[in-house]
Amino acid sequence: MRRFVTLPTVAYWLRSVVLGICVIALTGCAATRQAWFPPVHPESELERNRFQVTPGADVIGRLGLVKLEEGDTLPDVARHFSVGINAISAANPGVDVWLPKAGERITLPLNFILPDAPRKGIVINLATMRLFQFKENGGALTVSTYPVGIGTKERPTPQGPTRVARKASRPTWYVPASIAEDHRKKGDILPAKVPPGPENPLGDYALYLSRSGYLIHGTNKPASIGLKASNGCMRLYPEHIEVLFRDTAVNTPVLIVNQPYLIGQRDGVLYMEAHTPLEDSGTSELARIHAKLKSFERASARTLDWDKINTVQTEARGIPVPILELRPGAEQEASSPLRIEHPAALYGRPELPALKLDAWYVLVGDMRDEIEARRTAAIINHQGPPIPARVLSKDSSYRIVAGPFSDGGKARDAAKRLKIDLDIDGIVIEPGRTI
Active site members: 217, 233
Q: Is 181 exposed, middle or buried (0-12, 13-18, 19+ CB in 10 A)?
A: exposed
CB 97 within 8 A of CB 89: yes
Cα dihedral 174, 201, 49, 325 sign: negative
Within 10 angstroms of residue 13's Cβ, the number of other Cβ atoms is 11
CB 68 within 8 A of CB 104: yes
Where would I find the H helices in 304-407? 306-315, 370-381
> Could you tell me whether strands 121-125 and 21-27 are parallel, antiparallel, or unpaired per DSSP bridges?
unpaired
Give the 3-state DSSP-derived string for 383-429, with helices as H, strands as E and coil as C. Answer: CCCCCCEEEEEECCEEEEEEEEECCHHHHHHHHHHHHHHHCCCCEEE
Q: What are phi and psi of 220, to 5 degrees?
A: -100, 10
CB 414 within 8 A of CB 387: yes
254: β partners: 122, 162
How many Å apart are CA 52 and CA 60, to the nearest integer? 8
State the Cα angle at 38 between 32 and 40, rounded to 5°.
Answer: 135
Q: How far is CA 82 from CA 76, 172, 239, 246, in A?
A: 10, 26, 10, 18
CB 408 within 8 A of CB 340: no
CB 276 within 8 A of CB 261: no
Q: How far is CA 2 from CA 11, 63, 363, 371, in A?
A: 22, 42, 9, 17
